[in-house]
Structure 1
């Protein structure tokens, strides 16, 4: 909100400098974002009147003007402005004046000069040349009664400062000059000038019928008929000036009056052209499909959640937001209806944003506007209408005031001990009561407790914490002690058997992956296709229509990252993410770290696409495959040894997907993207994916000392034949189980042989395969003999035959 300092000081004028005034407001929570002078520095510019304007003898577009600046002689000044004419009063820079700096940053000094052979003893100025605006269409025309020779800075009150306040949503009561003055009076103790609202004489009994059909939209509606006004009257210069300094341009006198009272008292109002209203007005909720052309030229369609004012024919305005074009006042207006209402904040909040615009009225009503003073504010508007647009025939009707549902004040209790604890300094009951009374609050004190009944304009005072904040503001934040908080510090040590999140991320980076961070809300299609989730958790208010559900898998986010990189011609992509997923789980309780009914586990997922290694000369380029991803999972989990079993996953190839198990417990999946999704995403090659439970990945065994073997180990190779359906995991489990805690040091598969299709006479059937396994045997007690070795190998073969049906080849 922007306003001039001089207007604020008319209501409250404490003995403070401009900077001290700004600091006082800022430290009280009314942040002064900027202060700047109304006009840049200049001097030697006075009010002058053009007495003679003759054509320049040597230039078609110049005039030689004789200007009266209140001195003994007229000044001869050459001027090229199109509106330079006899009789107008304009700013005149006399010889020796300094105008605001130009583009070079240097002040412009006025000297006697010649223009096309004619001497010029000064300069007639536009608003742009004085730095008052960007208007350069002609001279700045002043009022006809402007005193000749008066310094233009004094005449236009340019020794003023513009304040720009950045107010939080709970400070709706300060969205006016009087509201800020009320706060300033409470902060400084300076007297507050209360505006007077004299009642206008009523000469007619005319009333406009108004029917309030939605008390949950409008709690109070007041209005008055005024007849025979002059809409062509000139808005006074003082009002135009104040509106401009509030950032509002002058439109027409009736509109200017409504805007002026809004900035002055915080009361948005509307003035209807009475003759354009059919019958009476109805205040109600909109109906689906109804349309309204607004004052800004937009045509909007309303529904049953948008408040409107309508006559018997059509909609006339959006309630509390903007008036309609059909009943707007114009130069032909003769009779008007002045409206001031109280709209419930929750009925106005967010409505204008649906139509992609914002208004000063909506900004105030959605924060709360005082419902108690609609009549007084109509009297203020009427006073200005009579003074500016009144004619000898102007007459006023009585004020029609309807109050179907006024807000009831709810007392709020403040505990002095609680306030002292929250604020962090000792406070007495008298201090708290005094601070609240200075704000104009009704206070009733008991032992250690203060009960406050908020005034009608303080919609933000609902909780004890609100009153504590008011006490702290008035006492002064700068007076709070700067003591370091004291608290019990209990170190939380991570178990040695659990890796940190950063260690896992560093391990992924060491494997050649780059970390990404993505939104937790994703497209619903990703959930259905890549996670098989037909009932995802939906967002009530998504930031975008395509990001409407919470993710239950990280794979969709990584696929989107891949697609974005491929669009930018990336040939090799390796990315990972550590993040939460969101699942429905009725067993989850409500706590400070969880939401009832929803599980939020952390997972780690990765995607590898393109060549398996960066381009280099020493080997042929090869696309990444399932075993590359599997190897990365094994490296990530090392020294733990995960197991892999064939499985299916909605996002992965049905024949190239494995479930990852750690200690027999599933912890995720690894595999190749399903061909269907590869085609729908338009990918030249299939990426490899894995997604694991992050808590399981963080497991890390505590190192245990094992002495280096002093005796020589022995290696034996065996070739066995098994059925095609026997997995590598089954073979390894059977072999290790045969010599559990015995001589077997390692068991490694190093060759797989399958017969060629159609071959005959082979010892291996078509549904069988041959596996070559290297056994490493070692004893810490004695050197192994041939008998020990043969016995161990036979035990392994017997176990393989028993558990997998293997036979020695």
Structure 2
């Protein structure tokens, strides 16, 4: 929401010396997010005046049309003589009033104006466009002013070129701040001044003579006001002050009737719609659309309506999507002699926020009106907003207000909230006192009754105030968050990190030490990513938890694997020139429980009961914690130390082992086929017989579908399962001071036998003396036979209390070979 300071001063009598920066600081202290203060007209100096075009000479022989004009600027030029100006615009004629900047002036951006020779003539100034003056981005032509403005008038003041505009990021719970009325109320509270509420105007009583309205869905529309203005001058244009205010808030002026409805929307916060009465047939109706109905909206697009859409109708069918956009059939024509619009029906209604939000999202049709309706508008402001629009149409368009006033209202009681008077004190951890609490609530428009227990009637423009904590927040923010005392919580002694927290920290440090960079990602995914990963239709990872209100329609679900976010980060960084990547993330994945449970609403004044905690946990999906890594490019760079080598599936497997070591678990690695990995380069990681994860190289089809670098690799482990398999944590290794005995063995097995099975058999057979086993060579060839392979292992033996003899080491080696022979069919090479 853009708020011009000059407009804001109409409703709050700010001291003369107050600047936009001062108001920004006050509003930020009150909890509004004022992102910037734009200085309009910064560096602008005159002379900048109203001029009248006297003559136009068309210059020939140039690549584009050029005009040599004489312009009457009164006494602004010093001599009183007309100024000669070269101009390339074509949208003005002799006799038009224009904006002229003369030599010696400086335009925004430090652009100095001086007499200069161009196109064979000397130009003494410039005829200005809106973009050159910083009024808008309109480059179509120069500004043509209404004829009533006198020649020589200062255009800086006339066009209100110097101003300050506050740019406020309005959060979803503060829809009232999407209006000058709402921001003015916050400003008045911040400065302790009176508010000139633009909605406090006299409104005639409803009667039966107004335009007929039939509301068939009182839930979707609980209030509808219709007013009629006749005798409108179709040639009336929006005055400059109205156009400038709309431009400052970011709205393009269109026509007088449309500009007035937009102006009132920004002023009061109530969206309006204007209908050409001559195009309406029968009563205006409000109902749900019939599935498949069509409407052409004001943007010229034909839209197919959904049965949940709320629509405005007449006897011809839908004439507008309620709260979102009107239909082209009843559009107000552009101002001008041929427009023909002389009678206008003004609509001011209150629509259900959720219905408008869903319709706007369904049709991908966000508008200024829908932004306000979906955040909640003031239902009591419809009559005042309609009256304000009628008054402006009478004043500016020469119209006459029809005596008929239509009001369709669904009865509703004021909303009340009961709250202990000391509740804000408990929430903030400080003492405000009842008097301060009551005063602050009254300042935001609440009616407050009671002593120790307050009964608070919430104002109609604050639909976000529904619970005692909402009221407490209002008191705290108006008293100033910066005034809250800073106190450290008292922690019970002898409590540190849990074992799970320590494990996560160890895992993060270990992966960082191995060269990985942590890259957390958003936990949201779309269904198409599972297709890109090549998951089967019955894969459990396709069963997701769907969000009721996702941030993005394309990612409506919570992730069931860490890989989509990590791979997206890998792709983004690779596309920006970082070819060698090793990334990791630890985080939760979300698995649906299969049953929909409504969670309880917990209180903040006490600890939840065990039953409440159990109910809350039952409503949550299962959320195991995972760790994932992705790699691409070089794992080690080439240099004077060597050739380096690229990242491969083995590095992904080693990352899994690195994580497992921190949990005190020794992984078993076996070959497996598991999406999204390459079928021949995929490993399943086991802790005992429990599958805890997978690692390997990604399938080429997955790499192509996701736009990843070739031979990208990944690993994902379940940290919760790994922690459970690790027992009582990590214990330090016992270091023996006695020498090691090394024995090498080369075993020949079938090519289909996994090396991991052979290694496990060697470990089991060697007994307690075996300290380590390492595979250092794999050989295939005609010497050992077709379909066979040779695996060479280095066995390290050591005793903790003595030096081993050669016979002891050889016996342990022979036992290891015997176990491998029995379990895998291995035989010693050369035997």
Tell me if TM exceeds 0.5: yes
What is the distance in 1 between the residues matched to 2:824 and 2:48?
108
> Aligned pair 1:434/2:459, yes or no?
no
- SS where residue 433 of structure 1 aligns? helix
Contact 1:39 1:158 in 2 (8 A): yes
What is the distance in 2 between the residues matched to 1:739 and 1:315?
84
- SS where residue 184 of structure 1 aligns? helix
Partner of 1:379: 387
TM-score normalised by structure 2 residue count: 0.75
- SS where residue 223 of structure 2 aligns? strand
> Aligned pair 1:302/2:331, yes or no?
no
Alignment deviations for residues 127-185 of structure 1 (CA, whole Å, 9 cap, x no partner): 67766566794575365265x77655555566654444333333322333333333333
Partner of 2:7: 7
Distance 1:777 1:166, change over 3 A: closer
Contact 2:511 2:658 in 1 (8 A): no
How far off is 1:444 after superposition? 0.5
How far off is 1:653 after superposition? 7.2
Contact 2:758 2:820 in 1 (8 A): yes
Q: Of 407, 429, 454, which aligns to 1:401?
A: 407
User: Matches of residues 184-333 of structure 1 in structure 2 within 5 Å?
Assistant: 184-195=187-198, 197-198=201-202, 207-330=210-333, 331-333=339-341
What is the distance in 1 between the residues matched to 2:707 and 2:134?
59
How far off is 1:399 after superposition? 0.7
Contact 1:530 1:650 in 2 (8 A): no
What is the distance in 1 between the residues matched to 2:591 and 2:128?
71
Partner of 2:608: none
- SS where residue 404 of structure 2 aligns? coil
Q: Of 699, 702, 706, which aligns to 2:731?
A: 702
Partner of 1:24: 26
What is the distance in 2 between the residues matched to 1:771 and 1:168?
65
What is the distance in 2 between the residues matched to 1:34 and 1:139?
28
Contact 1:284 1:309 in 2 (8 A): yes
> Aligned pair 1:78/2:84, yes or no?
yes
> Aligned pair 1:539/2:546, yes or no?
yes
Contact 1:47 1:89 in 2 (8 A): no
Distance 1:209 1:488, change over 3 A: same
Contact 1:497 1:702 in 2 (8 A): no
Partner of 1:343: 351
- SS where residue 225 of structure 1 aligns? strand
How far off is 1:371 after superposition? 1.6
Partner of 2:425: 420
How far off is 1:348 after superposition? 1.4
How far off is 1:214 after superposition? 1.3
Contact 2:130 2:139 in 1 (8 A): yes
How far off is 1:420 after superposition? 1.9
Q: Of 102, 105, 108, which aligns to 1:99?
A: 105
TM-score normalised by structure 1 residue count: 0.77
How far off is 1:685 after superposition? 8.9
Distance 1:530 1:555, change over 3 A: farther
Distance 1:325 1:528, change over 3 A: same
How far off is 1:663 after superposition? 5.2
Contact 1:128 1:136 in 2 (8 A): no
421-430 vs 135-144, greater mean Cα deviation: 135-144
Max radius of gyration: which structure?
1
- SS where residue 366 of structure 1 aligns? helix
> Aligned pair 1:390/2:398, yes or no?
yes
Distance 1:661 1:264, change over 3 A: closer
Partner of 1:370: 378
What is the distance in 1 between the residues matched to 2:356 and 2:115?
55
Contact 1:143 1:237 in 2 (8 A): no
Alignment deviations for residues 54-102 of structure 1 (CA, whole Å, 9 cap, x no partner): 68999995455666559999545435568998877666778xx852247
> Aligned pair 1:360/2:343, yes or no?
no
Partner of 1:467: 471
Distance 1:527 1:388, change over 3 A: same
What is the distance in 2 between the residues matched to 1:135 and 1:769?
76
How far off is 1:398 after superposition? 1.3
Partner of 1:603: 626
What is the distance in 2 between the residues matched to 1:237 and 1:298?
31
What is the distance in 2 between the residues matched to 1:708 and 1:774?
20
- SS where residue 412 of structure 1 aligns? strand
Distance 1:324 1:424, change over 3 A: same
What is the distance in 2 between the residues matched to 1:14 and 1:564?
49
User: Matches of residues 138-149 of structure 1 in structure 2 within 5 Å?
Assistant: 141=145, 144=148, 146=150
What is the distance in 1 between the residues matched to 2:162 and 2:628?
64
- SS where residue 379 of structure 2 aligns? coil
How far off is 1:257 after superposition? 2.5
Runs of 5+ consecutive residues of structure 2 not aligned to the other structure: 61-65, 334-338, 598-611
Distance 1:491 1:352, change over 3 A: farther
User: Matches of residues 519-534 of structure 1 in structure 2 within 5 Å?
Assistant: 520=523, 521=525, 523-525=529-531, 526=533, 528-529=535-536, 532-533=539-540
How far off is 1:311 after superposition? 1.3
Contact 1:27 1:477 in 2 (8 A): yes
Runs of 5+ consecutive residues of structure 1 not aligned to the other structure: 760-765
What is the distance in 2 between the residues matched to 1:440 and 1:501?
49
Distance 1:512 1:476, change over 3 A: closer
How far off is 1:458 after superposition? 1.8
Distance 1:281 1:607, change over 3 A: closer
What is the distance in 1 between the residues matched to 2:802 and 2:56?
125
Partner of 1:180: 183
Contact 1:536 1:551 in 2 (8 A): no
Distance 1:415 1:249, change over 3 A: same
Distance 1:322 1:500, change over 3 A: same
- SS where residue 380 of structure 2 aligns? coil
307-316 vs 647-656, greater mean Cα deviation: 647-656
Contact 2:262 2:271 in 1 (8 A): yes
Distance 1:13 1:31, change over 3 A: farther
User: Matches of residues 558-577 of structure 1 in structure 2 within 5 Å?
Assistant: 577=585
Distance 1:640 1:531, change over 3 A: farther
What is the distance in 2 between the residues matched to 1:646 and 1:110?
82
Contact 1:3 1:246 in 2 (8 A): yes
Q: State the number of aligned residues.
A: 787
What is the distance in 2 between the residues matched to 1:530 and 1:186?
59
What is the distance in 2 between the residues matched to 1:676 and 1:84?
61
- SS where residue 272 of structure 1 aligns? strand
Contact 1:33 1:165 in 2 (8 A): yes
Contact 2:51 2:71 in 1 (8 A): no
- SS where residue 702 of structure 1 aligns? coil
What is the distance in 1 between the residues matched to 2:351 and 2:314?
18
How far off is 1:367 after superposition? 1.9
How far off is 1:266 after superposition? 2.2
Contact 1:496 1:702 in 2 (8 A): no
380-389 vs 62-71, greater mean Cα deviation: 62-71
Alignment deviations for residues 399-443 of structure 1 (CA, whole Å, 9 cap, x no partner): 12111x355322123333221233343212112112222333211
Contact 1:65 1:78 in 2 (8 A): yes
260-269 vs 159-168, greater mean Cα deviation: 159-168
Contact 2:50 2:155 in 1 (8 A): no
70-79 vs 282-291, greater mean Cα deviation: 70-79
- SS where residue 208 of structure 1 aligns? coil
How far off is 1:212 after superposition? 0.9
